Amino acid sequence: MIDNNDIDSLLFDMDGTLWDATGSYAAVWNRCFADCGIDIRLTGADLVPYMGKPIEVIVEGITSGRVPAAFSRDAFVAALGEAEEEMMPQLGGTLYPGVYRGLEELSRHYRLFMISNCGRNGLRNFMQFTHTGHLFTDSVTYGERPVPKGENMRYLIEKYRLAGAVYVGDTQGDCDETHRAGIPFAYMQYGFGSCRDYDMAFGSFADFTQYFLKLIKHEKL
């Protein structure tokens, strides 16, 4: 693990960390179920337990025992991707309090990245809807590189030669993958999940922002 004073970059999860878009995701899923003639309707709350997992795992969990034998999960995943690309730039989500201002302030002192288990265009949709693309150096999704999140962390760390990266997320899965990547995990307690072995924890994005800004001020003393 790195020393806090050596931190040079912050790698962010999306759902449950920067925004809540579960209601919009449910609308995408419900449209795809309707198009397939499947009598399943979801709410945002139905998707919360699955946030942060790869899409194949989510589809299996939600449809298992509820769809005909002829149902193709691979085809449904593809349909979800197409519907999300069409709908999410308009539907979007709700940033948690303090996120936009916090990212602006942090981007002046740290290199910011995003890593998510969402589909290929999920992070682009996020940045387009929230007008935050200029604040991030780069991003990578599971849809682009279908490997465990920890491997995508290492990918960006090696690509940009990051000496002191921290991953910021909201689930135990995020924490486990972060530690596999060999870097500290910052747990956002307001998100969708729980975590037992985080390296640091924050109750709000404002608290998170102030913590990392104080590190910069401390270095200048």
**Burial status of residue 172 (CB atoms within 10 A of its CB: 0-12, 13-18, 19 or more):** middle
DSSP conformation letters of 105-149: HHHTTSEEEEEESS-TTHHHHHHHHHT-GGG-SEEEETTTS-S-H
Number of neighbours of residue 61 by Cβ within 10 angstroms: 11
Q: Could you tell me which residues come within 8 angstroms of residue 147 by beta carbon, excluding any fewer than 6 positions away?
A: none
pLDDT score recorded for residue 15: 97
Per-residue pLDDT of the chain (221 residues; tens, 9 = 90+): 566 778 999 999 999 999 999 999 999 999 999 999 999 999 999 999 999 888 899 999 999 999 998 999 999 999 999 999 999 999 999 999 999 999 999 999 999 999 999 988 899 999 999 999 999 999 999 999 999 999 999 999 999 999 999 999 999 999 999 999 999 999 999 999 999 999 999 999 999 999 999 998 665 44
In CATH terms, the fold of domain 4-20+94-220 is Rossmann fold (3.40.50)
For the chain, the structural domain boundaries read 4-20+94-220, 22-91
- What residues pair up with 113 in beta bridges, in sequence order? 11, 138
Report the alpha-carbon angle 172-168-152, nearest 5.
Answer: 85
Strand-pair partners of 5 = none
The tokens of 14 are what? Answer: 């999306």
